[in-house]
Amino acid sequence: MTRAAVVGAGTMGNGVAHVFAQSGFEVILVDVSEDLLENALAAIKKNMDRQVKKGSLDEAARDSALDRIQVATDLSATSAAEVVVEAVPENQEVKERIFHTLDEVTPAGVILASNTSSVSITALAAQTGRPERVIGMHFMNPVPVMQLIEIVRGLATSDETVERITQLSRDLGKTPVLVRDSPGFVSNRVLMPMINEAIFCVHEGVAEAEAIDEIMKLGMNHPIGPLALADLIGLDTCLFILNVLHSDLGDDKYRACPLLRNYVAAGWLGRKTGRGFYTY
Ligand code: NAD
């Protein structure tokens, strides 16, 4: 594969476009407005400049990577790609609509991938006439830095699609790990209950946030404590994913801590609002 499209140019989409372009792909980046696309291109340039400063990318490679990214505000621009990665906000209805349209505007052989953290890949695939070529490519944030891509196999995803996306992930310099389609996949199913339990410890007065994070860093060798990580991810996102785990798996062990609900109600969403379990 040499041509990719990325739909949604936010935090994740611009990172995915960055990695494709840096790996030699022609990239079409789609969002709903020119302004958002300009911001995304500026973010990609800034992140590549940082790599140049660190010595992990040279200036000529940066310039040619940037030249390989085209932008568009219409989904039909994805028709020239061999693979499309969708990275629009975590809303099932919006994603289903986009998959329906992508199925209409791209040739039948194109693989349609979603970067969703929790929406069912099987449900997105059902919006298309090519469920065997729909798959999850769950990149981690920040995309240019993080090694993992959690590859999510929907009920109808074919072996060939899994193989092609596994190879593509390696071509992007990443490490793919394959899982089946299930709420929260593996990454969030394991991570979110740990974060939730850390929040319960604050809620019940077992220890202060700093102490909980210190214990997990020094005692379990985690590079970042669960509460600092929750602030980084966004407390609204954590609550959203816990609610999906709770409702879709039907087990009360995924019940979100009331303190997390209160923080989200207060607008204390973590780093992005300047206040969460820490102040920024
Ligand atoms: P974001 O809000 O930063 O970006 C989403 C972008 O999609 C926005 O620029 C928005 O304008 C655009 N968009 C909305 N509707 C569109 C449409 N119809 N066509 C084209 N573009 C459209 O969101 P994000 O944090 O980048 O998350 C995107 C996806 O990645 C979500 O599914 C999320 O769950 C997943 N994800 C996020 C993270 C993270 O840490 N942020 C990590 C892994 C996966």
121 lines ligand 1 (CB under 6 A): no
Closest ligand 1 atom, residue 139 Cα = 43
pLDDT at 1: 93
Residue 188 annotated among the catalytic residues of the structure = yes
pLDDT at 170: 98
98 lines ligand 1 (CB under 6 A): yes
pLDDT band at 151 (very low <50, low <70, confident <90, very high): very high
Walk me through the domains of the chain, giving residue ranges and CATH numbers. Answer: 3-180 (3.40.50.720), 188-273 (1.10.1040.10)
From ligand 1's centre to the CA of 265, what distance in Å? 22
pLDDT at 64: 98
Catalytic: which of 117, 120, 169, 196?
Answer: 117
- Tens of pLDDT, residues 166-199: 999 999 999 999 999 999 999 999 999 999 999 9
CA-closest residue to ligand 1 atom 4: 10
- Is the Cα dihedral 226, 227, 231, 237 positive or negative? positive
Q: Which residue matches tokens 């040499």?
A: 2
pLDDT at 117: 92
pLDDT at 169: 98
- Tens of pLDDT, residues 23-72: 999 999 999 999 999 999 999 999 999 999 999 999 999 999 999 999 99
State the Cα angle at 66 between 61 and 71, rounded to 5°.
Answer: 160
From ligand 1's centre to the CA of 51, what distance in Å? 23
Residue 117 annotated among the catalytic residues of the structure = yes
Per-residue pLDDT averaged across 230-256, rounded? 95
Identity of the amino acid at 256: A
Q: What percent of the chain has pLDDT over 70?
A: 100
115 lines ligand 1 (CB under 6 A): yes
Per-residue pLDDT averaged across 256-268, rounded? 98
pLDDT at 104: 98
CA distance 206 to 215: 12
Query: How is residue 206 written in tokens?
Result: 């077992």
CA distance 101 to 128: 9
89 lines ligand 1 (CB under 6 A): yes
Per-residue pLDDT averaged across 134-138, rounded? 98
116 lines ligand 1 (CB under 6 A): yes
190 lines ligand 1 (CB under 6 A): no
Per-residue pLDDT averaged across 187-216, rounded? 98
Per-residue pLDDT averaged across 123-152, rounded? 97
Closest ligand 1 atom, residue 9 Cα = 9
CA distance 222 to 219: 8
Secondary structure (DSSP) of 184-219: TTTHHHHHHHHHHHHHHHHHTTSS-HHHHHHIIIII
The rounded mean pLDDT for the chain is: 97
Residue 197 annotated among the catalytic residues of the structure = no
pLDDT at 274: 97
